[in-house]
């Protein structure tokens, strides 16, 4: 958590709390009740970690594509094209 917090510029203690708990709120008759922080089990925490990783990857990839597109903008139209193909996941093959 220290390294991830450093890289994301987030307090590691806050990151640890967010990644390891969920907020549960009780209600009664449509009215707000008490709010609880419920600890996540291992599988739930892994899902949170994976979702955060995928979101960071997606946003970083979109940012890189945007920057590349900005860098290769030409003043005069040309038929030359540079394409970027994201094949993440395709390199996983079954082991027989």
Please give the full DSSP string across 2-29, using - where no structure is assigned: HHHHHHHT--HHHHHHHHHEEEEEEEET
Q: What whole-number distance in Å separates Cα of residue 45 and Cα of residue 11?
A: 18
pLDDT surpassing 80 at residue 22: yes
Cβ-in-10-Å burial (0-12, 13-18, 19+) of 27 comes to exposed
Domain tally, the chain: 1
Answer whether residue 22 is part of any domain. Answer: yes
pLDDT at residue 94 in the model = 60
Q: Is there a contact between 48 and 19 (Cβ–Cβ < 8 Å)?
A: yes
- The average pLDDT across 9-25 equals 93
CATH label of the domain that carries residue 52: 1.20.120.720
Answer whether residue 91 is part of any domain. Answer: no
pTM of the model: 0.64
Q: What is the pLDDT of residues 39-59, one digit of tens each?
A: 999 999 999 999 999 999 999
Answer whether residue 81 is part of any domain. Answer: no
Answer whether residue 94 is part of any domain. Answer: no
Q: What is the pLDDT of residues 67-85, one digit of tens each?
A: 888 887 766 666 666 666 6
The pLDDT mean for the chain works out to 83
| Domain extent for 54 | 2-71
């Amino acid at each position: 958590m220290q390294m991830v917090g450093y890289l994301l510029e987030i307090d590691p203690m806050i990151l640890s709390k967010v990644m390891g708990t969920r907020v549960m709120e009780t209600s009664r008759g449509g009215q707000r009740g008490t709010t609880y922080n419920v600890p996540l089990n291992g599988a739930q925490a892994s899902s949170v970690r994976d979702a955060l990783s995928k979101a960071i990857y997606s946003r970083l990839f979109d940012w890189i594509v945007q920057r590349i597109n900005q860098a290769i903008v030409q003043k005069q139209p040309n038929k030359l094209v540079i394409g970027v193909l994201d094949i993440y996941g395709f390199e996983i093959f079954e082991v027989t």
